[in-house]
Amino acid sequence: MNKPIFSIIAPIYNEIGNIPELYPRVREVMDQTDRPWELILVDDGSTDGSTEAIRQLAREDDRVRPVIFARNFGHQIAVTAGLDTSRGEAVIIIDADLQDPPEVILDLIEKWREGYEVVYAVREEREGESWFKTATASLFYRLIYRITDVNIPLDTGDFRLMDRKVVSIMNQMREKHRFLRGMSAWVGFKQVGVKYKRKARFTGETKYPLKKMIKLALNAITSFSYFPLQLATYLGFIAAGLSVIAIPVVIILRLTTGTVLLGQATTLIIVLFLGGVQLISLGIIGEYIGRIYDEAKGRPLYIVAEGPESTKNDTE
């Protein structure tokens, strides 16, 4: 088999209904390029039979290369395994639920041929997503944009094409808590966006409940910004400044009018408020320390139960 020019990576977590649609759509689009390609399907611990569907596809078409995880490791890690496995000159990351239409890959490739090393797809419109998801996502991208040092493009997901140069560098970045779109922006080179309409899911439910979204957001912020850590310093200066102003005010009022300002309730509220601020600051430090601890442990990012070669051996 020829060395592929294009690698498509699709992470799969319980997408049994989408696999039979994803494969032919990708095949049809990629065959138009007239270049060898591979489709890497990373099974992120599915329990709905997706694993067997992936094995079956790999048996029928040796351009399909499965990576089957020992358990669920999460979307970003699944894509990372795909990047590690990929061999193409250009690597395309796509969701398995067809929210990112495979047809857009051709537009990404066109920009790559013009000489861009990262071509990210920008969501111009979103179909079939709740206002809550759209609003929180939009808020999140803008927050990240403001507080991080890397210019992470607005309204882009992981749907993108990356040149081999970029992928090789990404593959050296072995951080445990990953925010791939930030990492690929961090690498640099020539980057460009291509607009597209994000579709509704073909079938099934989102695998990103609020909890996972918050985790991703925290990973994004802690990976690319110290701002939350500095927040405690700012709040400390504000609180200390207020108390410096308050002391003479209280003394003067007491001496001139005899008013006693602080009652029990006020004291209680202030103690609770400052106690809260301190605990939140500790929690923020904890978020960073936990991540440092994970790095220090140095565990592998993921565990592969069946790699692309082992499935192929079954059939030979």
Contact set with ligand UDP (CB under 6 A): 11-13, 15, 44, 72, 74-75, 78, 95-97, 99, 206-208
Neighbours of 23 (CB within 10 A): 21
Contact status: 158 vs Mg ion (CB under 5 A): no
Whether 75 and 13 have beta carbons less than 8 Å apart is answered as yes
Encoded one letter per residue, x for contact with Mg ion by CB under 5 A and - for no contact, window 77-96 reads: ------------------x-
Least distance in Å: CB of 301 to ligand UDP? 14
Least distance in Å: CB of 207 to Mg ion? 7
Instruction: Work out what residue 11 binds among Mg ion, ligand UDP, none; the CB cut-off runs from 5 to 8 Å by kind.
Output: ligand UDP
Whether 219 and 118 have beta carbons less than 8 Å apart is answered as no
Question: Would you mind telling me the total number of residues written for the chain in this entry?
Answer: 316
Least distance in Å: CB of 308 to Mg ion? 24
Least distance in Å: CB of 20 to ligand UDP? 14
**Which residues lie closer than 8 Å to 136 by C-beta, 6 or more apart?**
213
Q: Report the alpha-carbon angle 208-212-218, nearest 5.
A: 135
Q: Which is nearer to ligand UDP, 85 or 99 (CB)?
A: 99
The amino acid at 263: G
Instruction: Work out what residue 43 binds among ligand UDP, Mg ion, none; the CB cut-off runs from 5 to 8 Å by kind.
Output: none
Least distance in Å: CB of 227 to Mg ion? 29
Q: Which is nearer to ligand UDP, 12 or 161 (CB)?
A: 12
**Which residues lie closer than 8 Å to 134 by C-beta, 6 or more apart?**
126
Whether 161 and 119 have beta carbons less than 8 Å apart is answered as yes
- In eight-state DSSP terms, residue 206 is -
Q: Which is nearer to ligand UDP, 5 or 156 (CB)?
A: 156
What is the rounded CA–CA span in Å between residue 57 and residue 64?
A: 7
Locate 37 and state its tokens.
Answer: 């390609």
Q: Report the alpha-carbon angle 201-207-211, nearest 5.
A: 135
Least distance in Å: CB of 107 to Mg ion? 19
Q: Which is nearer to Mg ion, 127 or 314 (CB)?
A: 127
Encoded one letter per residue, x for contact with Mg ion by CB under 5 A and - for no contact, window 98-117 reads: -x------------------
What is the rounded CA–CA span in Å between residue 295 and residue 15?
A: 31
Q: Which is nearer to Mg ion, 14 or 99 (CB)?
A: 99
Instruction: Work out what residue 13 binds among ligand UDP, Mg ion, none; the CB cut-off runs from 5 to 8 Å by kind.
Output: ligand UDP
Distances (CA, A) of 283 to 93, 128, 212, 221, 276: 34, 35, 18, 14, 10
What is the rounded CA–CA span in Å between residue 306 and residue 163?
A: 27
Q: Which is nearer to ligand UDP, 91 or 96 (CB)?
A: 96
Q: Which is nearer to ligand UDP, 285 or 303 (CB)?
A: 303
Q: Kindly tell me which residue out of 38, 44, 97, 306 binds Mg ion, with binding defined by CB under 5 A.
A: 97
Which residues sit at the interface with Mg ion, rule CB under 5 A? Answer: 95, 97, 99
